Structure 1
């Protein structure tokens, strides 16, 4: 997980702009700006990080585990003492655009300012107006708990030099209005690249490898490549299947689970059909960077006894929903045959689904989702590895076998 810094409320400077949004025209105009800001805030999924379970929205305090220690998200309600009540619209835009807090402190990049820098001033002001309209909550911010030397903020100067490029999104004149809208949402407020791009030991990512997939640190989920036909490349997906996956959480091509299910639940389900379609158009256009032909079935690499054990477990536990031929009953029960998320080089997500189970998000267009039960208490490491191996190589799937020790490593991470 990347770094994030907690905004610090400094005393109001004499003569500084008023922090509270003031309507320049009729009250209806101010209401429209706040409504727009609420929509954009949803697009940025701000509530997911800035709200701790069972606490008031945006009141902060949620711990974010990183390889460098714990970060604690800030209170961004308009409380004057513990939130951002004394911030001006200029302060807020500076934070979004430059990654610098009101008092000049550099933000840790778990706050996705490297993406939010692309947000326009008009949209930033609308989000600010919305946040200033929510009920203030007096909840002091917790200091971060980062190991040395990562607790030294001066190191962020080097990080910013390597990984941060400041600037609002500039439309591509060669592309359509719809494509540019999708690019603005995906690259900016959606900050999709934060998960779908591998992060190195410094907590940074290479622009040249953007959207090529990677492990999400400390969450132990793999965010698949959006540019590879071997993973989640969307070039051959119908637009409707992409929009359904983003907005509904299920489609005829697959279902979202894990961190992506949270994104759909908290954010994407609330976007307009036009905006979701724009995002789909942009994602579908991402240039494929994996030009090698898809491999053929790897069943020959599996010992016959393991294959048979996996088949028997699948027949007993899985076939009722996913069908004997692996084609499932979409969209409620996703197909496993020909499913690229099953055959990715990393088997992490497949193993986690067998061990943990999970639900697609409950959304407005899918209010009662079907779920998958956990099998961690039923299947030992060998049996779990056998059934995951089976679904990765059966029906012509081109995945590779899974070893029991790979299952065991993830099992150790499950909550007791």
Structure 2
């Protein structure tokens, strides 16, 4: 049996382990410092933190002008039920500003129950049910679940949401406004309806891949008012880049289908419809529109150009924009509409190459009707088809009927859809018609897609652009066929 021995150092001998112990202590101190910094950061920026930019900011929220300062002061002293009703009322206003009903309603008898198919280059995404139904809707979602979906694009079960849901913009909405929307949705009638599943191609059906999409296309964080700008500008920015998510349609997309931030608001094509350039450029955008005309368009879907002395025409909302006006912007207060206009005036103008504004093209037809009298037409003729199908409402001269009245049949001359550099929207209007209901008028143009063939639609479109609009804008029969197939 051996005995272990140890060598005892003299008391005054140098301790060989001291440098190593000092190194360990230094390392532990560095790790602790980093951990403390992380805790401090998490407290300031974590999901439960309350940022300064999440505090009530009247200069940057979609304020309901009907709620006066007196009403707000009284709300603090009212019973909980009354305060709750005010929250729901505000949530309804904000849900309209965000146009939630547009994407989450496929069947108007089931509002907010989802089921709307959205076509993307990667497949079809079907919108979910957001009624308070506990089984098929969001009835079991907590407020924290709802906030996380709106701000981070993460669902109740931790699943990554697809950016067809515009969380990239909703992340800018304050906690208070998100919870007001949630309070409103809780009051809806629960609808037990499970929408169909998404049909996305591999690998885009793997939700975890959204981590990489977010890395390049998503910056989480609430809107921070710019102290150098006016309260009106800040409120407009909060709406345009946040709750109203205008860029989702009016900004082109990159190869990942994220927004191309270098071309903000310069226009893009969505489901066959061209969402036009809304920058202040005088030719390609809306730089030649007055503030009143932009406000009128958002509130009514019509801008006639009369206030600037231009000939009646200018713009009439159709397609998805008609739905935006019908479901959303017509309900915004005068102050909020004005704020949107103020902000849009401040974005950098982008020229798309147009030689003149879209609404500055065209002349009335003079002798097209008389020229065809007694003439045998054996082929598809745009002028003949226009007179047979369109002239009753728009006049054979193209000047419309009713001038600038709310329910007028619009002029095709100086009309932004007819003078655009591409004829998509004009062909889509002929194919699918127009339906726009506002406080001023119920506008309905019938769809001719079931009555006219693709070559007939192309012939009418090309006649109208040549005679009343931009003669360089044409459409082929094959293009019409593709537009016809668009949802």
Does 1 or 2 have the higher relative contact order (CA < 8 Å, sep 6+)?
1
Residue of structure 2 in register with 1:254 after alignment: 315
Contact kept in structure 2, 1:298 and 1:400, CA below 8 Å: no
Query: Which aligned pairs between 1:250-329 and structure 2 lie closer than 5 A?
Result: 250-252=302-304, 253-290=314-351, 294=355, 309-323=381-395, 326-328=398-400, 329=403
Task: Give per-residue Cα distances to partners, 1:307-363, cap 9 Å, x unaligned.
Answer: 99544544554444434554433352223223233222221111122233323x111
Residue of structure 2 in register with 1:125 after alignment: 179
1:349 aligns with 2:425: yes
1:98 aligns with 2:152: yes
Contact kept in structure 2, 1:52 and 1:61, CA below 8 Å: yes
- Output the TM-score relative to the length of structure 2: 0.70
1:330 aligns with 2:381: no
- Unaligned ranges ≥5, structure 2: 1-47, 49-75, 305-313, 363-367, 373-380
Distance 1:107 1:393 in 2: 45
Q: How many pairs align?
A: 381
1:408–1:75 distance in 2 versus 1, CA, 3 Å: closer
Contact kept in structure 1, 2:398 and 2:413, CA below 8 Å: yes
Residue of structure 2 in register with 1:19 after alignment: none
Computing the radius of gyration from Cα coordinates, the structure with the larger value is 2
1:181 aligns with 2:235: yes
State which drifts further: 31-40 or 378-387. 378-387
> By how many angstroms is 1:230 displaced?
4.4
SS in 2 for 1:52: coil
Distance 2:133 2:453 in 1: 51
Contact kept in structure 2, 1:116 and 1:189, CA below 8 Å: yes
1:87–1:25 distance in 2 versus 1, CA, 3 Å: farther
SS in 1 for 2:417: helix
SS in 1 for 2:150: helix
> By how many angstroms is 1:116 displaced?
0.3
- RMSD of aligned Cα (Å): 3.1
Residue of structure 2 in register with 1:169 after alignment: 223
Query: Which aligned pairs between 1:10-89 and structure 2 lie closer than 5 A?
Result: 26-89=80-143
Distance 2:390 2:108 in 1: 35
- Unaligned ranges ≥5, structure 1: 1-15, 17-22, 300-304
1:387 aligns with 2:463: no
Contact kept in structure 2, 1:235 and 1:285, CA below 8 Å: no
SS in 1 for 2:207: coil
> By how many angstroms is 1:129 displaced?
1.5
Distance 1:270 1:82 in 2: 29
Distance 2:346 2:392 in 1: 36
> By how many angstroms is 1:128 displaced?
1.5
Contact kept in structure 2, 1:196 and 1:225, CA below 8 Å: yes
1:237 aligns with 2:269: no
Contact kept in structure 1, 2:315 and 2:416, CA below 8 Å: no
SS in 1 for 2:418: helix
Contact kept in structure 2, 1:230 and 1:344, CA below 8 Å: no
Contact kept in structure 2, 1:322 and 1:336, CA below 8 Å: yes
Contact kept in structure 1, 2:223 and 2:238, CA below 8 Å: yes
SS in 2 for 1:343: coil
> By how many angstroms is 1:164 displaced?
0.8
1:196 aligns with 2:271: no
Residue of structure 2 in register with 1:225 after alignment: 277
> By how many angstroms is 1:48 displaced?
2.0
Contact kept in structure 1, 2:422 and 2:474, CA below 8 Å: no
